[in-house]
């Protein structure tokens, strides 16, 4: 157990304990969900119930990195702020030297590199956050990337991180294809509905504790207004009731 003191030390069985503890910190954070549709990329987060005297607008869990890229995280809020600042700077630096907008993959790779550096050099602790980085490249391809405290970055079709991530991920695995075909058929809001559904699985007290944002190719980050979120959640509740009722009917006949 003495091997968890300094970050730069491996344990005898090949673990970096500080990194694994950082992943635990992520698991304690509020849930975040990302869904890559064909024409929309959606990020949804669980909001902690607002303290009465707190100004809700200052609690930001979905942050813009550039005009076309945004990030949601799970874990230590202050660590996220530092990482997002670095990423924002890198986006602008890229625009200055390359005269072009950075791809989502480039920024995810950069964030992952920063997180990895803190697992190897400087004797500092790793960032206690996993990130979902979502956006559209200049050529219109949708992207959703995840980075974690180890410093790896991977591309996902849909992912949940934070508290209860496992059950939400299972829900997404079951329902992603259906949502995708619905979007192909013309339901543009399908990914947003899927994000709301996934979050409602684990978030107590429903719509007022959910925040959803989406991106479309060529346009910037847009928040789904609170009343629309409430409406979507009501719809989902109604569908659930219907399914329950149908289930009861089947049982009775």
* Cβ 98 to another protein shortest distance, Å: 4
* Cβ 137 to another protein shortest distance, Å: 11
Question: Which among 200, 58, 45 is positioned nearest to 130, based on CA atoms?
Answer: 45
* 147 vs 180, beta carbon nearer another protein: 147
Angle, in degrees to the nearest 10, between helices 190-202 and 226-252: 70
* 77 vs 114, beta carbon nearer another protein: 114
* 140 vs 247, beta carbon nearer another protein: 140
The answer to whether the beta carbons of residues 196 and 239 sit under 8 Å apart is no
Task: Determine the Cα–Cα distance for residues 118 and 193; give it in Å rounded to an integer.
Answer: 37
Residues near another protein (CB under 8 A): 97-100, 106, 139
* Cβ 164 to another protein shortest distance, Å: 36
Task: Determine the Cα–Cα distance for residues 164 and 203; give it in Å rounded to an integer.
Answer: 9
For residue 109, what are the CA distances in angstroms to 96, 113, 172, 250? Answer: 18, 6, 25, 51
Number of residues that make up the chain: 253
* Cβ 89 to another protein shortest distance, Å: 17
* 9 vs 98, beta carbon nearer another protein: 98
């Amino acid at each position: 157990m003495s091997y968890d003191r300094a970050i730069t030390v491996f344990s005898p069985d090949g673990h970096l304990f500080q990194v694994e503890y950082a992943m635990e910190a992520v698991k304690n954070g509020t849930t975040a969900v990302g869904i890559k549709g064909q024409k929309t990329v959606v990020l949804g987060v669980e909001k902690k119930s607002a303290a009465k005297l707190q100004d809700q607008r200052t609690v930001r869990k979905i942050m813009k990195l550039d005009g076309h890229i945004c990030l949601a995280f799970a874990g230590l809020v202050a660590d996220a702020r530092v990482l997002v600042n670095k990423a924002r700077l890198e986006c602008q630096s890229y625009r200055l030297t390359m005269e072009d907008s950075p791809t989502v993959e480039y920024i995810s790779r950069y964030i992952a590199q920063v997180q990895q550096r803190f697992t190897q050099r400087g004797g500092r602790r790793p960032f206690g956050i996993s990130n979902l980085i979502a956006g559209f490249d200049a050529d219109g391809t949708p992207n959703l990337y995840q980075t974690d405290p180890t410093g790896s970055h991977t591309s996902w079709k849909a992912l949940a991180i934070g508290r209860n991530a496992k059950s939400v991920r299972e829900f997404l695995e079951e329902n992603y294809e259906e949502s995708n075909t619905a979007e192909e058929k013309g339901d543009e809001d399908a990914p947003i509905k899927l994000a709301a559904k996934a979050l409602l699985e684990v978030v107590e007290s429903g719509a007022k504790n959910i925040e959803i944002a989406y991106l479309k190719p060529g346009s910037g980050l847009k928040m789904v207004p609170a009343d629309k979120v409430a409406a979507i959640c009501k719809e989902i509740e109604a569908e659930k009731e219907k399914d329950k009722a149908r289930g009861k009917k089947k049982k009775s006949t």
